[in-house]
Amino acid sequence: MATYDLVVIGTGPGGYVCAIRAAQLGMKVAVVEKNATLGGTCLNVGCMPSKALLHASELFEEAGHSFAKMGIKVPAPEIDLPAMMNFKQQGIDGNVKGVEYLMKKNKIDVLVGKGKILGTGKVQVTGNDGSAQTVETKNIVIATGSDIARLKGIEIDEKRIVSSTGALALDKVPSSLLVVGAGVIGLELGSVWRRLGAKVTVVEFLDRILPGMDSEIAKQFQRILEKQGFAFRLGAKVTGVDTSGATLAATIEPAAGGAAEKIEADVVLVAIGRVPYTDGLGLQEAGVVLDNRGRVQIDHHFATSVPGVYAIGDVVAGPMLAHKAEDEGVACAEILAGQAGHVNYDVIPGVVYTTPEVASVGKTEDELKQAGVAYTVGKFPFTANGRSKVNQTTDGFVKILADAKTDRVLGAHIIGREAGELIHEAAVLMEFGGSAEDLARTCHAHPTRSEAVKEAALAVGKRAIHM
Ligand SMILES: Cc1cc2nc3c(=O)[nH]c(=O)nc-3n(C[C@H](O)[C@H](O)[C@H](O)COP(=O)(O)OP(=O)(O)OC[C@H]3O[C@@H](n4cnc5c(N)ncnc54)[C@H](O)[C@@H]3O)c2cc1C
């Protein structure tokens, strides 16, 4: 029987990063993966394919709408969807191969099959052909991630009624797309298909989009998306989809109750969130306790209720984000090696990769108000940023929230092009407990969009220069 220091079940960004860090620290490591490819949701059907399609569709839209005003004459662009899907697949393949290479480089064994925990120190791996092997290990890390959340009574066939997975692989551009859920995934994939020609309607149960993000940013984002052609039905729920006709007919009801109505669509995308995935892991028999939302319960050291069994990533509490899973993977491996692994959950950025992007780190203004924290706000619009002006990409603004007494930055929220890159300036500052003054006194290259971040920091002290 093979014996290891660590067996990680699942090779998403949580699992494979944990395995690499453990191997770096001298452990003998194996990963178990039930899918044909490594990399989990993120690389295969999540972050990476969605970004490939967002990139391609953005350039398609730019070519059709922005080139002419910059003096670039091209014929009207045409969509070759199979080629675009091939571009996406090449990106997936490249990243998946990269993980395979990293496993080899770090001498990590890859055990293909479904992992089941038989108790402390024992994992059974059952291959697709039914053959089973049991491996012994000092430690087990559960990194089995998450699965799509489903709506009762609405069956996902991944053709006409799709989850994010089907929405990343449609074989033609739908003339109309109904998105259920105005969260990150719904708005990103809605953007892809709108740019390619679909009429997109988003139905959201709450009275706002992007729940959890700063509400001022979300409001402005909604206005921008509406200008782009999105239609929103907020405070409404989809209660059924009639699939009998050539076009789908979704039943929409006001969230607060009231008369139902029908909305027709070629494709319905159910994007109401994700749920932890623990099927077939044998957790109950092994005695691993779950919380009331089906997530594996852990302590501050990622330890479950069973000695020697740990859990990280989407399968535990916290934001379902790849970088959160990765950081937990690193911290967990370091703790297993006797080091002081740690994740700062107060500084985990969140990004919506639309155009413009939305990015956020730390507390929102809504959260600070609710907690009764005295804060100051500095805002700076991209309309006053020179680089954005010359590029004619002036949508959005930067908002920095600082403690009223100490000036320590508590949160940063950006809507605008490249917001997902700009946000890390605030993240690094916050990791070091920096103040708005620290950021404002840091020299920023000109002309960059980052200058808007500096100006927002200056605005905290009411001394922005270009406004
Ligand atoms: C469309 C979409 C877009 C997204 N975009 C982003 C983004 O831009 N940025 C971001 O940060 N996050 C994004 N996410 C979320 C991100 O994908 C997840 O947060 C991340 O993948 C979680 O990593 P993980 O390692 O916990 O689990 P996963 O990536 O879900 O990996 C879990 C792995 O475990 C395997 N597994 C499960 N059970 C077993 C078993 N019993 N035996 C063997 N193997 C098993 C699965 O096959 C899978 O490979 C997106 C998600 C989706 C769906």
Catalytic choice (65, 301, 342, 446): 446
At residue 93, the pLDDT reads: 98
DSSP per-residue letters across 36-65: SSSSHHHHHHSHHHHHHHHHHHHHHHHHHH
Indicate the residue type of 328: E
Residues contacting 227, CB < 8 A, separation 6+: none
Q: Report the amino acid identity of residue 269.
A: L
The per-residue pLDDT for range 104-161, each reduced to its tens digit, is 999 999 999 999 999 999 999 999 899 999 999 999 999 999 999 999 999 999 999 9
- From residue 294, alpha-carbon distances to 156, 181, 284, 346 in Å are 22, 21, 12, 23
Q: Which of 325, 363, 259, 370 is nearest to 21 (CA)?
A: 325
Cα of 205 to ligand 1 centre, how many Å?
A: 25
Q: Are 378 and 461 in contact (CB under 8 A)?
A: yes
Is the model's pLDDT at 1 over the cut of 90? no
Pocket of ligand 1 from Cβ distances under 6 Å:
9-15, 32-35, 40-42, 46-47, 50, 114-115, 143-146, 164, 185, 277, 280-281, 313-314, 320-323, 325, 353
Largest CA distance in the chain: 69
Proportion of the chain in helix, strand, coil states, percent, rounded to 5: 35, 25, 40
Contacts of 179 (CB under 8 A, 6+ apart): 186, 187, 189, 190, 200, 201, 202, 203, 268, 269, 271
C-alpha 279 – ligand 1 centre gap (Å):
14
Write the residue with the smallest CA distance to atom 19 of ligand 1: 321
Which residues, other chains included, contact 382 with Cβ-Cβ below 8 Å and sequence gap of 6+?
A: 388, 393, 394, 395, 396, 397, 398, 416, 417, 449, 452
Amino acid at 420: G
Grouping H, G, I as helix, E, B as strand and the rest as coil, residue 371 is: helix
| Model pLDDT, residue 2 | 82
412 band by pLDDT with thresholds 50, 70 and 90: very high
Q: For residue 125, give the ligand 1 atom closest to its CA.
A: 42
Closest CA to 187 of 177, 197, 174: 177
CA of 93 to the centre of ligand 1 (A): 16
- The reported pLDDT for the residue numbered 314 is 98
pLDDT digits (tens, 9 = 90+) for 305-330: 999 999 999 999 999 999 999 999 99
Non-local CB neighbours of 268 within 8 Å, separated by 6+ positions:
154, 160, 161, 162, 177, 178, 179, 180, 238, 241, 248, 250
What integer pLDDT is reported at residue 126 of this predicted model?
A: 98
**Predicted confidence (pLDDT) at residue 244 exceeds the cutoff of 80:** yes
C-alpha distances (whole Å) from 14 to each of 27, 184, 274, 324, 347 are 17, 20, 16, 8, 18
